[in-house]
Structure 1
């Protein structure tokens, strides 16, 4: 059984309220329930985590070392400028998939840049909640 950490960064706790035209109407809890339901036959143990604080996210990545087989990370806005999160991912050597609900490559110019993508095994954008499921599937294939 693979142990996967599903992490969400800043403002993702506001899903279902914020910018519904971009992020949809489901709350983060509803998305987490969807992920759990869709992966129930994948032989994975999921841990869900969300924080608006960069240091807390970094600590959680560090804590995953030796405990998790993979990380699914929607770093939110930190994707575009947090070299500290990038370095945390790099330091633990745990396969990480970067996920975004929307397609960051067709949004505002500043969102086109990801400083974490080069330390992740893949980037999945614009697939909504299904992107998380696809990331988990990818991580279970990566670590067989």
Structure 2
């Protein structure tokens, strides 16, 4: 069975983020794992707050998974700050992550900014998207 890692925010409502990724992975018959970058307080009406996870914990989540499990591919979602973007990029590079899909999450459906404005350039630079 293929093992897929999602790196994203947690959606307390279950309709997006880690929760939605794991549902999709299960439906496709792959074993899903997660690295949480932020926790959101949201419901069906919108996002009301975001709390980022500490950088060291984000890095450690990735490292310990790669130490123990052969990960087939990685899906990246919400990375809200330049520091988180850089940490994820560097850690995936160090563990030789492969088959990486980037689905940048910038603004929620309700209009809440999930990617800090200062992080847009970091997203382009560290994850090699855009110009």
Q: TM-score range by the shorter chain?
A: 0.5 to 0.7
Look up the SS of the partner of 2:97 in the other structure.
Answer: coil
Kept in 2: contact 1:58–1:88 (CA 8 A) = yes
Higher helix share: 1
User: Is 1:56 aligned to 2:66, yes or no?
Assistant: no
TM-score by length of 2: 0.56
Q: What is the CA distance between 1:81 and its match in structure 2? A: 3.6
- In the alignment, the residues of structure 2 paired with residue 29 and residue 45 of structure 1 have an alpha-carbon distance, to the nearest angstrom, of 13
Q: 1:27 to 1:15 in 2, by over 3 A?
A: farther
Number of aligned residue pairs: give it: 103
Kept in 2: contact 1:6–1:47 (CA 8 A) = yes
Q: Residue 71 of structure 1 corresponds to which residue in structure 2?
A: 74
Q: Residue 31 of structure 1 corresponds to which residue in structure 2?
A: 20
User: Is 1:99 aligned to 2:103, yes or no?
Assistant: yes
Kept in 2: contact 1:14–1:27 (CA 8 A) = yes
Kept in 1: contact 2:7–2:78 (CA 8 A) = yes
Kept in 2: contact 1:7–1:73 (CA 8 A) = yes
Higher strand share: 2
Bigger relative contact order (CA 8 A; separation at least 6): 1
Deviation per CA, 1:34-75, whole angstroms, max 9, x where unpaired?
4235523xxx21113424221111012112325112222225
User: Is 1:110 aligned to 2:118, yes or no?
Assistant: yes
TM-score by length of 1: 0.52
Look up the SS of the partner of 1:61 in the other structure.
Answer: helix
Q: Residue 131 of structure 1 corresponds to which residue in structure 2?
A: none
Q: What is the CA distance between 1:109 and its match in structure 2? A: 4.9
Q: Please report the RMSD computed on the Cα atoms of aligned residues, expressed in angstroms.
A: 3.4
